[in-house]
Each structure stands twice: as structure tokens, then as C-alpha cells.
Structure 1
């Protein structure tokens, strides 16, 4: 069984389109994790009448990427053979991309399947170029750059196998580059199964502050992932700068409560 995990944070304008897109794919079950939503996202999800959709509503914001781990834990309880991750604001027509990821997992071609969201590298902002340089350095350290380029599980639809989940703990999914590093460290197969421009994801465009914080978060994640891969003490610093971003808002405590009790109060 393949489960698709969909984290949602105030996506009332896009979540309906995203879920109906996913219902056209080969996924067997869709697990929506409503992450402290203050808009109508919850009502919209509840209003979609399809047995493949289930949801959990978390009253407190869990922070960036923690909902992925919550959804993965739920998928494990349902004996999923593989898990696809798609953000709730990815409202583009990604059904063919999702099916490519699912095919790779079902056919045993890889334990982590990624989407290349940068098939063209021109005309990127300075902030994007800086982020890409850290992504490249991570994948070079993991000896994966030749096969997956700049792709990492922080960006774009991606999937993991049940085998991968036997090798790492659920909380590691909340720092996607660390999950990638652990896959490489455990000699699991990582591949790119699909390619699509970032613009075609049709993700929500937020303000400049959010973009900067996301960039700092992912850069810090990449730095931490390199340390994990080499068995060193985790840190998020480079050249005297500590890249925190939204990492400080990740509620690992609530995730651990959820794993222990099956709910987030």
C-alpha cells in the first residue's frame, strides 16, 4: 500500500485542488495533517467525500516538516509499503509526477525517490543560488551529486520506502536533508524519478521574510545532514554563521507525544 502524506498550514485556497489532483493518482490512501490551521482548510478537507482521504487536526502549530513525520507515523500504523510526501499548497497538475514516484517505489527501484525541481539552472536569485550551493555540497559529500544533482527531499514531491523507515527513526523525517544523509549512510538507493520546474508546482507565493527563513532553514538542515553523515556532533553553523530559520519552531516534543499517544493536543 502506498500512502500520500499531505501537510497543510492555512491552505484554504489550494487544498481542494491539491487533494483532487492526488485522487487521480495511484496512491491508495491520503493522510492530511492539518497543522494548526486557522482558516477553512479543515472544513474543506472534511467536505471531500472519498474513503481514501483521512485527516488529523493538530490544534497547535507543529512547525516546519514535523507534520511529515506525523503523517509517516500514521502511514506506518496502516502497514504502508511506501510513503509519498506532497505539500498541501502544491496545486499544479502533478498527477503524472506522483505516479512516477509511486512506480519507482512499487518496483523497488529506490528507497528514496526525488523530484528534480531545477531542470533549468538559469535566472536564479542570489538567495536561490546560495541555497543551491549548499544543496550541491551536501550531495557531493554523500557521493550522490552525479546521480541526483541538486535534488533533496526538502523541495518537491518525493517518496520513501518501508525499508528506509526500518533504518531511521520517525523524527529524522522532520529534517529532510538528514533523512537523505541517513539513506546514503545506510547504503540505500536514492534516485530522481521525475523532473518538473518549481513554477509548475504552483505552490503558494509568500513574502520575502518567509523566503529568507525557508532558505536559512534548509541551509542549516544541509549543514546538519553533513555532520550526521560523517558521524560528527550536529550543528547548523558555517563560516561563523548559524543557520536557524524556522528550525527553532519545529515541535519535536509534540511529535514525540504523538508517537507515544497517537494524538497531538
Structure 2
């Protein structure tokens, strides 16, 4: 029997040193941090009983295994993978883990996949991920924990990644603009459009699972109803998001889709509030313009309006 063991880093260097000197090189004393467990007993019990992780995937064979490896560390109640239009080994790799895989032979769009997964989920807290972005379980747990502590929706705080203004594009401005319209400027560029984010399943049911297909619309509904929307952790999805044909700089269909989503959210706000939503015109007397014809001339450059205007 031959057992092949992977060489440890630096093993070859040590052997060369022994050949040259005949002595074993001195071991360097390195202070090692004691690695703490990811979850305490309470968090483990909560995740096993309450957490559903939802991951829509399409041709993610390079990353889905790594993503699921981190998700498994959370020890969730269930993992729901929505495979849509995959032509590679994504499904085969995903099903080697303990997941529920819903497979569609055609592309759905990630937001539709998330809505389907949310409706099928049984956990009290829903954690939404993408199959092409690997995020350490330690960071994912922060989104989940926020919901356990009372948040209705826990967003990815991406604001720290916009120090470089070159990153602020039309989509980012639309996210910021919507948050300002909702009187939540503190959210900045954070949005349900971006993963990871978590939410209570009761909130998803109240909003309507179908509203999750248009994330800015769901976010507008939630904030308008006074739900508690927080930012729990920061994950740089701007840098790690996979480049596809549909989200390249030229003919960027994803950008157009997201901008359209924000138009839907704006239209909803106007239908629920007014054309100006919460921003009323208090500095101009625009109604005066309609009464110009009723002015009476007193002098060459002096006009007066009737008292009833």
C-alpha cells in the first residue's frame, strides 16, 4: 500500500538544509492564535433549528463547492440550491453536499431563484447567497445573528468600498437615491440587490415572496412599513462578482435590469405617497403662476394679485 501525503510548505527547504549542514534546522518559535469555534452552543442550536440558506446557481462549477463548504460550517437547518440553466457540473457538485436542489433547465434570473427558494424554505431566517462568491462562514454568521437579535432584514454594508468615486456608477446612485427617498440615507449604497443578505421568513411572507423578484421593490415596501432594516457586515462583492456576458461594460443587461427595478420601486412609492414621496415643495408658490392673468397694474412696474389668490 502506498499512501501519498501532501508535502507541507517548507518541507523541501528543510531537507536541502539537512543535506548541506548535516543538522536539522532550528524551529522558529511562532506565536499561534488559538482558533475559536465559529459557533457557540446557542448559535449552533439556533442555526440547526431556524436557518435556511438559499443559493441560486448557474454554471458555477468552479466555486459552488467552496461556497457550500463555508455554508456547511454554519450548520443550517437546510440548504436550498436553485440550479437554473446550468450546463456544467454545478448540480453534480452541489448534490454531493446535504442540500435540496431545485433544478430548472432554463435560466430564471437570480432574483427569481431567491424568491422560489424563500417560498420553499422552512427556516425562520433566510440567508441569501450567490454561487460564485465565496464568503467565510464567520462573516455570514453576522447577517444571520442580526435577525436573531431582532432585525427584520440584514443588508451587506458596501459603503466602505466606495471611497474611490470611480466605483460610483448609475446603479450605485440609484441605490443611494432610493434609500434617500425612503428617509434612510444611513443605508447609503446598501441594497437587497446585493448579497449576502438575510431576512426573517415572516417578513418575506408579509411582503409577498413574489416581491423578492424585484429586490429594490421589496426593500421599499419593508422600509415604508417601518420594518427594521440594518447593515450587519461588509463583503466586497464589487471586486469578487463574476464577470459574465450579460454584465460587461458594454451592453450591460444586468445594469439595465437593476435600474428598471429601481424605477418599479419609485413608482410604488409614488402610488403609496405622492409624486414627490416624502419631499414636499415648501419653498415655491407654484400655484401663483396660474393667476398671472388676474393681476391688476398699479404702476409701470408694479402688479398686485387679487386677495383671493
Aligned residues: 222
2:118–2:201 Cα contact (<8 Å) kept: no
Q: Which residue of 2 aligns with 1:89?
A: 132
Following superposition of structure 1 onto structure 2, how do residues 141-220 of structure 1 map, counting pairs within 5 Å? 141-146=181-186, 148-198=187-237, 202-207=240-245, 209-210=247-248, 212-220=252-260
Give CA-to-partner distance per residue, 1:156-199, whole Å, 9 cap, x none.
20011123123211111011111101101221111101112235
Q: CA deviation at 1:112?
A: 0.8
> Please, which runs of 5 or more residues in structure 2 have no aligned partner?
1-49, 273-309
SS in 1 for 2:169: helix
TM-score (norm 2): 0.67
1:2 aligns to 2:51 (yes or no): yes
2:247–2:255 Cα contact (<8 Å) kept: no
- Equivalents in 2 of 1:208, 1:7: separation in Å? 17
Q: Which residue of 2 aligns with 1:74?
A: 120
1:224 aligns to 2:264 (yes or no): yes
Give CA-to-partner distance per residue, 1:209-257, whole Å, 9 cap, x none.
545211111111112112112326xxxxxxxxxxxxxxxxxxxxxxxxx
Q: Which residue of 2 aligns with 1:65?
A: 111
Between structure 1 and structure 2, the one with the greater Rg is: 2
Q: Which residue of 1 aligns with 2:93?
A: 44
Q: Which residue of 2 aligns with 1:104?
A: 146
- Equivalents in 1 of 2:107, 2:129: separation in Å? 18
- Equivalents in 2 of 1:14, 1:175: separation in Å? 25
- Equivalents in 2 of 1:166, 1:12: separation in Å? 32
- Equivalents in 2 of 1:194, 1:226: separation in Å? 27
Give CA-to-partner distance per residue, 1:118-150, whole Å, 9 cap, x none.
413133547x4222111111000111122x221
Q: Which residue of 1 aligns with 2:62?
A: 13
1:115–1:193 Cα contact (<8 Å) kept: yes
CA separation of 1:221 and 1:206: change in aligned 2, threshold 3 A: same
- Equivalents in 2 of 1:27, 1:199: separation in Å? 27
SS in 2 for 1:87: coil
Q: CA deviation at 1:104?
A: 0.8
1:120 aligns to 2:158 (yes or no): no
**Structure 1, 37-46 or 161-170: larger mean CA deviation:** 161-170
1:184–1:190 Cα contact (<8 Å) kept: yes
- Equivalents in 2 of 1:113, 1:209: separation in Å? 25
SS in 1 for 2:233: strand
- Find the partner of 1:133 among 167, 173, 180: 173
1:101–1:113 Cα contact (<8 Å) kept: yes
- Equivalents in 1 of 2:179, 2:193: separation in Å? 13
Q: CA RMSD in A?
A: 2.0
- Equivalents in 1 of 2:129, 2:141: separation in Å? 12
